Amino acid sequence: MMTGFEPHDHVGCIADAMSAAEQRCASRSLRLTAVRRQVLEILLQEHVALGAYDILEHLRLAGFNSQPPVAYRALDFLVTNGFAHKVERLNAFIACSYPGETHSPAFMICRNCDVVAETRSTPVKGSLGAAARSVGFRIERTVVEAEGLCPLCQEEAI
C-alpha cells in the first residue's frame, strides 16, 4: 500500500486522487479553481517533491502565466486542505497519498533518486509524544521525514 517505491497503477492513482479532491471540495464547499486543480495534477504526475518554481514552470507550460505567489497560494490551499504536503527537508511539495483521511504524514526520501514515499505516522504515541507530555508541550503538527536509500538505489550502490 506504499506509493512511490513500489510500481503501481499510476494513471488510476492520479484519477482517484483527482476525483477524491473533487468530492471533498464539493462537500466542504472549497473552491477547486483552475490554478489549484492544475497544481494538484502537476503534483500527482510524479512521486517526487516539486519546488514552487518547478510548479511555476509546469503551470506556464500549461498556459498559465503565473508569478511565484500564485504557486505558493495554490500550494497553501492544497496543503491546508489535505491534498498535498510540504516536505520540509526539501523545501518542496508532494501530493498526498492518503487524501480524505486526516493523518500525520511521514516521508521516506531517497537521497539518490529523490523519490518520496508517504506513509502515516503516529509520532504522538512514541518517544516524542512522551517527551511532549512530560514538559507540557501541546503538539499541533508534526514533521517526520526519513532520509536514506530506496530499494532500487541500494541495489545500484552494490
Partner DNA sequence: AATGTTATGTAATAATGTATCAACAGGTAA
Partner DNA sequence: TTACCTGTTGATACATTATTACATAACATT
Interacting residue ranges for Zn ion, rule: CB under 5 A: 96, 98, 105, 110, 112-113, 150, 153
Which of 31/138 has CB closer to a copy of itself? 138
| Residue 142 binding partner per list DNA, Zn ion, a copy of itself, none, with a CB distance cut-off of 5 to 8 Å that depends on partner kind | a copy of itself
Which of 34/139 has CB closer to DNA? 34
| 64: DSSP letter | -
Per residue in 144-156, is it b (16+ CB within 10 Å) or e — as a string?
Answer: beeeebbeebeee
| Residue 128 binding partner per list Zn ion, a copy of itself, DNA, none, with a CB distance cut-off of 5 to 8 Å that depends on partner kind | a copy of itself
Per residue in 6-44, is it b (16+ CB within 10 Å) or e — as a string?
Answer: eeeeeeeebeebbeebeebbeeeeeebeebbbbbbbbbb
Q: If binding is defined by CB under 8 A, does position 117 make contact with a copy of itself?
A: yes
Q: If binding is defined by CB under 7 A, does position 80 make contact with DNA?
A: no
Which cell is 71 given?
504557486
Taking the C-alpha atoms of residue 45 and residue 48, their distance in angstroms, rounded to an integer, is 9
Interface contacts to a copy of itself, rule CB under 8 A: 2, 5-6, 88-89, 91, 106, 108, 110-111, 117, 119-123, 125-128, 131-132, 134-151, 154
